[in-house]
Chains A and B, each alone.
Chain A
Amino acid sequence: MPTLETEVLVIGGGSTGAGVARDAAMRGFATALVERGDLATGTTGRFHGLLHSGGRYAVKDPVAARECVVENEILRRTAADCIEDTGGLFVSTQWDDPGFGDEFLKGCRATGVPVEEVSVAETLRQEPRLDPGISRAFAVPDASLDPWKLVSACTRSATEHGARILPYHRVLDLDLRDGKVVGARVNNEQNGEELQIRAEVVINASGAWAGQIASLAGCLVAVLPGKGIMIAMNHRLVNTVVNRCKPPSDGDIIVPIRTVSVIGTTDTRVADPDELEVTQAEIDEMLDEGEKLVPGFRKARALRVWAGARPLYTPDEVADTRDVSRTHTVLDHAKRDGVGGFITITGGKTTTYRLMAEHAVDAACEKLGVDRPCTTHEEPLPGSEDERFYWLGARVRAQEPVPGSEEIICECELITRRGLIEAIARRRPTGLDDVRRRVRLAMGPCQGGFCIYRATGILHAFEHLDHQAANAALVDFLQERWKGVQPILYGDQLRQARLDDWIFQGLLAVGHLPE
């Protein structure tokens, strides 16, 4: 079995893991990262897309709020390309107690969340789809954060500093010797080959799966997967992050992210982060809550629904997972479980990923007996050097002034043939879903109706696939898109899905492809 020698092995390719790999590599450690699937396919790839101002936690979780304030400012400076500066609003709807607004203001001021009360008239002018019955509104620096860009930039930075990033490498076992974790045995899911990795320190950054990984070293880490569903609406019903000004609960945030707006979320404790069922009751709850913020929400077009699992860590049992602190915890298993060379970083949220990574790598430094300072709060991520925020109109502007001068493969998200090929070339994809995460293929209204065939044809040609592999790519991607569309299929999206059926099953007859 081939062996890979390294100093720091990071398990988990979400925002935390990617952040840890970057930080460790920047501090000069030989670093490797393994992730069982494609990068950002865990919680990070399924989160709401919100860069918190801290407002949500200002009243009930001031520690978390303060963290958000600091990290929000840092990420705006260092990860600008991954962020759209939408701004945020907390609004008191007809169903909310306007008095809570005063508590909200107090909490924000106490925790340092920049806040300003704004007039309802001005708010409605800025956001004409909001319910005109709102009574108060407060502006905060929420923003939307693209998780794939973020993770991609972190791993790119890590690679630039010498790290080895290994997606599709599943951890089979952690190797223990004399009460110390010395590495892991992983399986390359793309070709079935096993790889032995030797490391001085293993950092478990596997989020909602942290308990499963920790148990491979005989450590009990009680991570509560807290399932939350989110619904992407076809267009930006609001252009600002809109929160309900009330104690946090379900369905009280709408985030405009890229070309869609996302409403979320729910909170249900589940046993297995890989078994996340979306129920009709949850969907109805989200739609009803959406209707309170945006009248006509139920008539608007819903694209798809998905669920993510929050990694909630608490040593004690709690009733409502929402009461668990949303700050993070670093567990040094030597101190806690008598297992050396092993650290778990758990809890937290994407907004504070960088701080989590800093603390995890600090713990690793301590273990290794070295003192290397973190610089990720200063160094911009690749692509964010000019501190220019992502701009919604960028892809349209890129096709101007002669929009017909490039072939556009995915029209909904304006992906050119060149862009698609670059994305394929940069990372040999296992299928079209990997490509989707790079460039947002099939993430628009038609959910691949027009672009899946084109992308398959291009993949077939560029990767010299045989017909079986190409057919599998097409069919698998159709199934993948269907998974998120099917539970919430009605109205305009049903029209689209039916047209797509006519194209794939009728016109192309993909149900009858040769074996």
Chain B
Amino acid sequence: MNEARPRLAPASYDAVVIGAGLAGLTAALRLAEEGQRVAVLAKGVGATHLAPATIDVLGYDDGPVDSPARALPEFANANPQHPYRRLSINLIRASLDWFKSRLCDHGYRGGLDQNFLVPTAVGVAKPTALVPETMAAADLRQGGRFLFVGFRGLKDFFPAYLADNLARAPLPGGASVTTRVAELSPPLGLARDVSAAGFARRFEQADFRESVLVELGRHLMPGEIVGFPAVLGLDRAREVWQELEIRLGHPVFEVPTLPPSVPGLRLYETMTGALRREGARLVVGTTVAGAEGSGNRLEGVVAHNAGRPLTYRANSFVLATGGFASGGLQLDSSGKVREPVFDLPVAGLPGPDEPRFEQGYFDEHAISRAGVAVDASSRPIDSEGAPVYENLHAVGATLGGAVPWREASGNGLSLASGYAAASAILEVTS
């Protein structure tokens, strides 16, 4: 008997994207819609399921930001290591426009010129650039009379606490907000502890909506804008939201709350569905743990799955594995920081004798800005500024120089950087 196993001739693509968060999916979708054969390899489902699905471009820069378009140039100058220094305003704008049109079924509104102010689940008025239509009525900038709805059985939303804080939120131009609360007891059957996703599925059933509408109708006062937790349906969110508005006769919006993020789930389903329709291959549950290359050109990545490693070859590669939260950057017990897929150099690290973290929880911690540094084409660079691989690009939270959870810039960065990497790849291959 002879050697009968097929030589492991690896699968071959135009582009391989590692990571299925917003940055990775953006890069993949842009490449796929321009005709590239794309594979997305992901260890699991990305962080879209955890984040609110608003697009925060720049929310805070020593105080709330009114207009990202106006604030960005100064912000970029003051933070030369920040990705926004490299990602021009025009590019960010283009990425937002692309996103809005790609996700037209979600009805995203807004732009770079003026941030919305929307309530968080504890009642902070938070700036954000794009909101889906289901959140648009939450806009606090003109003030208004708000009724926040809570559900017995949903432990991830506390409208009374939200309302208490929101009524005192400082708003621009002297706008003011009054708040009321309604706690509903919808029919949950035997279940007592239902997640946001569980509620969202129930909202897609007509009789459940009916009972909510009936109960809520008794609480409403004229002129009120109604705020629900973000549970207004999954695939059919538009339908659910529109029906609520029509039947109640009041504007309706959702407030994002603890994971699972229902709007994030919607975003993921829409983007992966679009990827599938464009013919891309999405492999979830495979870990990329090595590379094959010659010189400074990457030729393939080695993915682990059940049984044996599999090599995926491509012309271009995008690293979208996220930051410390998703394991795209790792810190071990002896203080060493690593990028685990390609062992790329990590920039922005504190010195060996500097503390990585401050004692105050809210202080800015030295290690927060650590990440991969890239050139103008989004390619990771070494200490001399030369690209490590000529055909590898890095996007999203893997990038150093930003503290997105403090700046409220997470999704904006992911979107813009994913878009930019795809543009760079398309330029080279055209």
What is the interface of chain A, defined by CB distance below 8 A to chain B? Answer: 284, 287, 298-299, 302, 402, 404-409, 417, 450, 453-454, 456-458, 460-461, 466-467, 470-471, 474, 478-479, 482-483, 486, 489-491, 494-495, 498-499, 501-503, 505-515
Contact = CB atoms under 8 A, between A and B. Distances in A.
Interface stretch (B232-240, B281-289, B357-365, B381-389): B357-365
A513 B406 contact: no
Contact of A490 (B192, B193, B332): B332
B428 interface: no
B51 A467 contact: no
B190 A489 contact: no
SS of B interface (majority): loop
A417 B153 CA distance: 10
SS of A interface (majority): helix
Interface string B170-213: 10000000000000000000111110000000000000000000
Nearest to B335: A490
Nearest to B330: A491
B375 interface: no
Given A287-B333, A482-B361, A502-B405, A406 B120 contact: no
Given A407-B153, A509-B122, A471 B333 contact: no
Given A405-B192, A408-B193, A510-B124, A460 B161 contact: yes
Given A453-B258, A494-B324, A502-B405, A509 B124 contact: yes
Interface of B: 50-52, 60, 64, 120-124, 126, 153, 155-156, 158, 160-161, 164-165, 168-170, 190-194, 256-259, 323-327, 330-335, 356-362, 404-406, 408, 410
Nearest to B125: A512
A499 B50 contact: yes
Contact of B405 (A299, A486, A505): A505
Contacts of B153: 407
Contacts of A498: 323-325
B165 A513 contact: yes
A489 B50 contact: no
Contacts of B120: 507-509
B94 to A, nearest CB: 25
Contact of A505 (B258, B333, B356, B406): B406
A508 B122 contact: yes
Contacts of A507: 51-52, 120-121, 256-258
Pick from B52, B126, B191, B324 the residue with the most CB of A within 10 Å: B324
A407 B405 CA distance: 29
Contacts of B51: 502, 506-507
B354 to A, nearest CB: 12
Contact of B356 (A287, A302, A471, A489): A489
A460 B52 CA distance: 24
Contacts of A407: 153, 155, 192-193
B50 A502 contact: yes
B324 A506 contact: no
A486 B359 contact: yes
B121 A454 contact: no
Contact of B408 (A298, A466, A506): A506
Contacts of A467: 123, 161, 164-165, 168
A490 B155 contact: no
Contacts of B158: 453-454, 456-458, 460-461
B126 to A, nearest CB: 5
B325 A471 contact: no
B156 A454 contact: yes
